[in-house]
Structure 1
Amino acid sequence: MAFLWSRAGNVSAVDLDEGYRPSPDEPFMNDRQLAYFRAKLLDWKEAILKESAGTLQQLQIDSLREPDLTDRASSETDWSIELRTRDRQRKLISKIDAALRRIEEGEYGYCEVTGEPISLGRLEARPIATMTLEAQERHERNEKVSREE
């Protein structure tokens, strides 16, 4: 059972079978699809937060007091990489939150550039997608041209 919240604050229960996957044979972004993607986004966010909490605990447990300078440098490099990863995941959480807001506002699954539906396959692979594949490719080409100028 999954729950959806509407803009008006109404809660509706949506029954999702365990093996449910959105299908192009059903109406696009119906309640079941929205509940599916909402649950997928929330699970992803929860996994990132758990991993981050584990990193913080590990940072507190492991001190950088290795007597050997080489070992210490290696540890500092490892933690630097880990912290950069956590920073990227922090940014990812804000994108997940934005996708959850789009679900609540009824805008999820539609391209922010063209207004066309984003393919279910793309949303399955990248549930935070805000553009169709074509619009994303066009955007990246324009970005590349801008950088080269």
Structure 2
Amino acid sequence: MTEQELLQMPAADYMNEQQLDFFKHRLQQLHEETAAEVAAAREAVATTDLAAADELDRAAAEEENRQRLRFAERKYYLLRKIQRSLDKIEDGSYGYCEISGDPIGLQRLLLRPTAELSFEEKSRQEQKEKSFRKNR
């Protein structure tokens, strides 16, 4: 099934078996790609030669490792979100907002297959965060 075919389905078919299979496949693919990126980052950190000839080279290598570790940490967090989304497909709650229970929407899920909130709830959450930062 293509994205276009998915979007052309009637609203009444929201999160039917075909749509769930589409997103399951997409999430599994994303999981594999992300796991490979985490493994590559770990390998790069493990093989970095920190016994460089001078202090500048050593400092540059350490900074690169810090950046790789931050990258790997973000990707590892994404792996957990992907797995939560796959679990939701299995329990039947995928595609529905965790707060309101409303459909998240196919367009949003195509852009962010790990989305847990509807556009409206995410906007409300961001507004609260914005006003909280202003009041600090």
TM-score, length of structure 2 as denominator length: 0.88
Deviation string 1:15-46 (CA, Å, 9 cap, x unpaired) is xx4xx222242411111110111111111111
Match of 1:85 among 60, 71, 74: 71
2:96 alignment partner, one of 100, 110, 118: 110
TM-fit CA distance, 1:53: 1.5
Structure 1 residue aligned with 2:42: 56
- When you count helix as a share of all residues, which structure comes out higher? 2
* Offset, 1:91: 1.0
Match 2:28 to one of 35, 42, 56 = 42
Say if 1:24 and 1:120, in contact at 8 Å, map to a contact too.
no
* 1:120 is the counterpart of 2:120: no
Report the AA paired with residue 129 of structure 1. A
Structure 1 runs not aligned, ≥5 long: 1-16
Please identify which structure carries the higher strand content.
Answer: 1
C-alpha root-mean-square deviation of aligned residues, in Å? 1.4
**8 Å CA contact 2:96, 2:103 repeated in 1:** yes
Q: TM-score with structure 1 length normalisation?
A: 0.81
CA distance, structure 2, for counterparts of residue 59 and residue 144 of structure 1: 36
Size of the aligned set, in residue pairs, is 131
Equivalent of residue 75 in structure 1, options 61, 72, 91: 61
User: Unaligned 5+ residue runs, structure 2?
Assistant: none
